[in-house]
Amino acid sequence: MTTSSLSFPVERSTSPATEAERRRVLADPGFGKHFTDHMVLATWTRDAGWHDAKVVPYGPFTLDPSTAVFHYGQEIFEGMKAYRHADGSVWTFRPEQNAARFARSAHRLGLPELPEADFLESIRAMVDVDQVWVPEHGGESSLYLRPFMIGTESGLGVRPSMHVTYCVIASPAGAYFAGGIKPVSLWVTPQYTRAAPGGTGAAKCGGNYAASLAAQLEAQSQGCDQVVFLDAVERRYIEELGGMNLFFVRRDGTVMTPQLSGSILEGVTRSSILEVARELGHEVEERRISLDEWREGVGSGEITEVFACGTAAVVTPVGRLAWLDGEVVGSSEPGEVTMTIRNQLLDIQTGRAEDTHGWLHRL
């Protein structure tokens, strides 16, 4: 790996959270509600490239109301976690995968790529300055890291911004299933799609999430937790959820997931599960999976487990699948394969299992 060309000098906060305040937050962090004392910033301009990288006190941006991101949504982001191991050291999971996806997203959104070495250095600088915010080892708590990039040129012309801001913020995250693992229910939206061929579905850009919200409201009005999106052309094949990839386990133990279509996000958790499942002795298939195959498979018992996966929840069992005029209900208990894969992945991330893949990156 090349070394970072950027250095991130630290301007320390003069009013960080007190130890008591921090302890209170870390005792019950929830998700995405509390932020650490600092953030990373860097600027790109067309003339000077990346420059002015730094760590500064966490705080608001002041932006002209005509700034590009407010009008045309030129924005990308990433999500990753830092875990504390038993010896107190802090590690991230496959951060180079997030760096590579961030670069792919940047390319798709007409934003400048941040070199992998600079991305990794920004993460190191962020966690280094706020390492007291990384929860203790044990359980599933972590420090969630949110790098993002926005077009910050002012003016209403529709074109790639010539002034861009990169930022990393960090938020302590508790166990996703604090009250025990609970299967989610999913709604197959009849009217909305998430991403079309040639669109931005494979990029992690804010617009994809904005476009998923009406469908999310629809799901909630149907008593479901999350939305399943189908392909935009035939409206037949499973793509993914609004923020997670999907997996299916067949009766013979085969683990399968929708192939990368160009319109779904290539999850880091998804790629890791494909490898872990293979090592656990499962046949693995990446192919097109239709909604009919899912419905009929659960109904007939051919599909024994369904789960969703992503950085935030790691692995989430799926209980119920509902559509306009029907539903199939799987087991109310998380399946055995689901839990074995979930535990194996979490054990690697938290240092309880050996990292035979070299997936962990010490900060």
Q: Which is nearer to ligand PMP, 58 or 77 (CB)?
A: 77
Quote the CA–CA distance of 50 and 15 in Å, as a whole number: 29
Chain centroid to CA 211: 17
Q: Which is nearer to ligand PMP, 129 or 145 (CB)?
A: 145
Residue 314 identity: V
Residue 294 identity: W
Q: Which is nearer to ligand PMP, 8 or 307 (CB)?
A: 307
Quote the CA–CA distance of 325 and 112 in Å, as a whole number: 46
Q: Which is nearer to ligand PMP, 79 or 207 (CB)?
A: 79
From the CB of 345, what's the least distance to ligand PMP, in Å?
10
Give the nearest residue (CB) to ligand PMP. 267
Q: How many residues are given for the chain? A: 363
Q: Which is nearer to ligand PMP, 8 or 148 (CB)?
A: 148
| Token reading at 293 | 């195959």
From the CB of 184, what's the least distance to ligand PMP, in Å?
14
From the CB of 249, what's the least distance to ligand PMP, in Å?
18
- DSSP secondary structure letters along 272-328: HHHHHHHHTT--EEEE--BHHHHHHHHHHTSEEEEEEEETTTEEEEEEEEEETTEEE
From the CB of 201, what's the least distance to ligand PMP, in Å?
8
Using alpha carbons only, give the angle 63, 65, 66 rounded to the nearest 5 degrees: 105
Quote the CA–CA distance of 166 and 168 in Å, as a whole number: 7
Q: Which is nearer to ligand PMP, 64 or 275 (CB)?
A: 275
The residue behind tokens 């209403």 is 156
Quote the CA–CA distance of 160 and 166 in Å, as a whole number: 15
From the CB of 243, what's the least distance to ligand PMP, in Å?
4
Contact 118, 53 (CB under 8 A): yes
DSSP H stretches of helix in 36-167: 68-72, 95-108, 116-129
From the CB of 90, what's the least distance to ligand PMP, in Å?
19
Q: Which is nearer to ligand PMP, 6 or 230 (CB)?
A: 230
* DSSP 8-state class, residue 131: G
Contact 167, 147 (CB under 8 A): yes
Q: Which is nearer to ligand PMP, 63 or 339 (CB)?
A: 339
From the CB of 128, what's the least distance to ligand PMP, in Å?
23
What is the SS3 assignment for 189?
Answer: coil
The residue behind tokens 């659960």 is 298
The residue behind tokens 């999350």 is 226
Q: Which is nearer to ligand PMP, 78 or 121 (CB)?
A: 78
From the CB of 194, what's the least distance to ligand PMP, in Å?
8
Q: Which is nearer to ligand PMP, 39 or 264 (CB)?
A: 264
From the CB of 224, what's the least distance to ligand PMP, in Å?
17
Residues lying near ligand PMP in the complex (CB under 6 A): 79, 240, 243-245, 265, 267-270, 310-311
Q: In 10 A of CB 258, how many CB atoms?
A: 22
Contact 89, 101 (CB under 8 A): no
From the CB of 219, what's the least distance to ligand PMP, in Å?
15
